[in-house]
Amino acid sequence: MVNYKQIEKAIEAKAPLSLQEDWDNSGWQVRLKTDFNKILLALEIRSDVIEEAVNKGCDLIITHHPLIFGSLDQVIGLEGIDFNDFDEVSGDNITSNMLIDLIQEGISVYSTHTPFDKCSGGNNDYLGAMLGLDRFGVSENGDGYVRVGEFDDPVTLDELMDRAAGKLGVDKKFFRYAGDTGVSIKRVCWVSGAGSEYMISAITENCDIYITGDLKYHDAQKAHELGINVLDLGHYATENIFRRAMSSILIAEDIYDSAKVELSDVDINPFAL
């Protein structure tokens, strides 16, 4: 068994809560007991992830995305909701439903969101290693999120996308690109998840390409005007690596010696085509 204090120490030694943004809600989302037998690592809580935890006998789920965001005034599940009344159906209802399920099943949840994006060995560092950058580090700009790295030998856009698809386990059909398709890529900057606001780093860091997820239409138009090459690998692909990154940290902190740990194998990518 592993105590909740051991969980806090292992995670927060790498990703302290002091790193989180004001709008974030990292830390314990639900803590129903003090000691845990089996841990599930997942990108976020979804009903099928809860079902997976139940089937695998897990009493703790560690996630990247917090379950509870903003102010949750009351817990009201979906049962009895009039789905013809759009005002009754909200994100709070969905969150409430999952909270009810978690509590009924005796499953606790700990989330590390923006701290894990910023920290050494977190999502952004792990993404750089997976893409095979020969050298990389934290940009002086970018609020601790932006990473900058280089390949010893330049790669083509196709080579980079093939590598990303293989390492991230995501079909290239989910990728989007804006810019010069014939670009020779040596210097790269990136932010996992939704990081379009840091796109200007491609200019300030003199990079050949900027990599992130959730690129919007107007972001792509802005990139065109600024002459920035932007590769959108998707929010899911650039952050589902959380499972493996967190696993590495828990191994290093000897959590695997005290409790069983499993990586979620539920495909929670909401996009099918």
Q: What is the DSSP string of the chain?
A: -EEHHHHHHHHHTTS-GGGS-TT---EEEE---SEESEEEEESS--HHHHHHHHHHT-SEEEESS-S--S-------STT--TT-TTT--HHHHHHHHHHHHHHHT-EEEE--HHHHHSTTSHHHHHHHHTT-SEEEE-SSSTTT-EEEEEEEEEEHHHHHHHHHHHHT--GGG-EEES-TT-EEEEEEEEEEE-GGGTTHHHHTT-SEEEEE---HHHHHHHHHHT--EEE--HHHHHTTHHHHHHHHHHHTTGGGTSEEEE----------
For residue 270, being part of any structural domain is answered with no
Same domain, 193 and 166: yes
In this predicted structure, the answer to whether residue 83 has a pLDDT above a threshold of 70 is: no
In this predicted structure, the answer to whether residue 272 has a pLDDT above a threshold of 90 is: no
pLDDT digits (tens, 9 = 90+) for 12-43: 999 999 999 999 999 999 999 999 999 999 99
Same domain, 52 and 92: yes
Task: Count how many domains the chain has.
Answer: 2
For residue 221, being part of any structural domain is answered with yes
- Of residues 247 and 96, the one with the higher pLDDT is 247
Same domain, 85 and 22: yes
Going by pLDDT thresholds of 50, 70 and 90, the confidence category of residue 91 is low
pLDDT digits (tens, 9 = 90+) for 176-207: 999 999 999 999 999 999 999 999 999 999 99
pLDDT digits (tens, 9 = 90+) for 36-71: 999 999 999 999 999 999 999 999 999 999 999 877
Lowest mean pLDDT among 84-98, 193-207, 224-238: 84-98
Going by pLDDT thresholds of 50, 70 and 90, the confidence category of residue 105 is very high
Same domain, 70 and 173: no
Q: Determine the average pLDDT of the residues in 89-98.
A: 78
Instruction: Give the whole-number percent of the chain exceeding pLDDT 70.
Output: 93
CATH number at residue 130: 3.40.1390.30
Q: Which domain holds residue 167?
A: 120-232
For residue 161, being part of any structural domain is answered with yes
Q: What is the pLDDT of residue 169?
A: 94
For residue 40, being part of any structural domain is answered with yes
Same domain, 206 and 129: yes
For residue 69, being part of any structural domain is answered with yes
Same domain, 33 and 112: yes
Q: What is the pLDDT of residue 106?
A: 98
For residue 273, being part of any structural domain is answered with no
Same domain, 7 and 98: yes
What is this structure's pTM? 0.93
Same domain, 124 and 177: yes
Q: Determine the average pLDDT of the residues in 222-238.
A: 97
Q: Determine the average pLDDT of the residues in 104-122.
A: 97
For residue 271, being part of any structural domain is answered with no
- Of residues 50 and 271, the one with the higher pLDDT is 50
For residue 199, being part of any structural domain is answered with yes
Q: What is the pLDDT of residue 80?
A: 61
Q: What is the pLDDT of residue 82?
A: 65
Average pLDDT, the chain: 94
Same domain, 53 and 144: no
Going by pLDDT thresholds of 50, 70 and 90, the confidence category of residue 117 is very high
In this predicted structure, the answer to whether residue 1 has a pLDDT above a threshold of 70 is: yes
Same domain, 133 and 219: yes
Same domain, 36 and 21: yes
Lowest mean pLDDT among 28-32, 97-101, 150-154: 97-101
Going by pLDDT thresholds of 50, 70 and 90, the confidence category of residue 89 is low
Same domain, 99 and 140: no
